[in-house]
Amino acid sequence: MDAKSSFNSRKTTFKAENSILNANDIQTAAVLGSGTMGHGIAQVLAMKGIDVRLFDISSDAIDAALGKVRANLDKGVEKGKVEAATRDEALRRLRGTTSFDEAIDGVAAVIEAVPEKLELKRDLFSKLGSKLGPDVLLATNTSSLPISNIAEAAEYPERVTGMHFFNPVHIMKLVEVVRAKQSSPEAVEQTMELARRMGKEPISVSDSPGFASSRLGLVIGLEAMRMVESGVASAEDIDKAMTLGYGFPMGPLKLTDLVGLDVRLSIAEYLKEEVGAHFAPPQILRDKVARGELGKKSGQGFYDWS
Ligand code: NAD
């Protein structure tokens, strides 16, 4: 069969089966990668009645992830925010595995949260496509990579979307649902619905560098750094201007310290290339990163965290 007729035949099967589930009917999902984001995504899915297979190449990472989910849920119960029965049911629905085949067998949706490396993600999406049918939703939690490039590696690129969660996933309400150029309207709608089912507020964004949140957040962060650099005001006072004057929950420089100055520098360099010169990292940011002042994680950034 040549490429075109193979494409047509799978399209026909796709239509004939018409088996794409409403997101509310999804019963089983796989989460790939059990780190900072993966464990949170798995927790929230399980709390919403979905059986979750949490896949990682490291069994230690899975053990740590399951421990974190249990701790999050226990804390929720302690604070009266989670019913004990919801916790027990969520833990029952969650299973960790280092077997890729076992993780994805029979699932209706996959959410990928492995490290931010394009080739790694493309490799996984290509493997998913050869094992899962065109009815399965394939979402990536990348925070910066082009979704269209990841989708290109999949057998059914029209089923691939971006599902950009925020850390910590069980608390943060926002999900950016990113439309790759190949994403079908059904896949996008299903992703929005899945986010809503997870208790999140999805926004719809086209596949453009930095999506909506990183692009706009970084402009403010970089300008705040330039203002410190040129002596307009101290970091504390610039942050106060935004929290008290504009109602930001946290000032842009404190947020930079929490995200990590190295992380913000690499996103700024990427957006400078992809979007424009206004993302050029200020010298103060480069200098601080060179000195190892990476923010809260290193004890020093725009604030002293020691
Ligand atoms: P992390 O390093 O905490 O976790 C990644 C996990 O993936 C690790 O447990 C690792 O063992 C596992 N892994 C590595 N290779 C794998 C493979 N081939 N198959 C399965 N698992 C594999 O990373 P993270 O912070 O959770 O980030 C994951 C993704 O989420 C990235 O794309 C990142 O850009 C995105 N993201 C992160 C944040 C954040 O605040 N950390 C926010 C939004 C989006």
For residue 34 and ligand 1, the question of a CB distance below 6 A is answered with: yes
pLDDT at residue 4 tops 90: no
For residue 127 and ligand 1, the question of a CB distance below 6 A is answered with: no
Give tens-digit pLDDT for 205-252. Answer: 999 999 999 899 999 999 999 999 999 999 999 999 999 999 999 999
For residue 58 and ligand 1, the question of a CB distance below 6 A is answered with: yes
Question: Could you tell me the pTM of the whole model?
Answer: 0.88
Q: Whose CA is nearest to atom 8 of ligand 1?
A: 35
Give me ligand 1 centre to Cα 142, in Å.
9
Q: Whose CA is nearest to atom 1 of ligand 1?
A: 35
Please give the number of the atom of ligand 1 that sits closest to the Cα of 38. Answer: 26
Q: Which of the listed residues 36, 59, 118 should we mutate to test ligand 1's pocket, taking the one with most ligand atoms within 8 A of CB?
A: 36
Contacts of 229 (CB under 8 A, 6+ apart): 282, 283, 284
Give me ligand 1 centre to Cα 34, in Å.
7
- Domains annotated for the chain, with CATH where assigned, are 3-206 (3.40.50.720), 213-290 (1.10.1040.10)
Q: Whose CA is nearest to atom 11 of ligand 1?
A: 58
Give me ligand 1 centre to Cα 35, in Å.
5
CA 128, 132, 134, 140 dihedral sign is negative
Give tens-digit pLDDT for 7-56. Answer: 444 443 433 344 677 888 999 999 999 999 999 999 999 999 999 999 99
Give tens-digit pLDDT for 147-187. Answer: 999 999 999 999 999 999 998 999 999 999 999 999 999 99
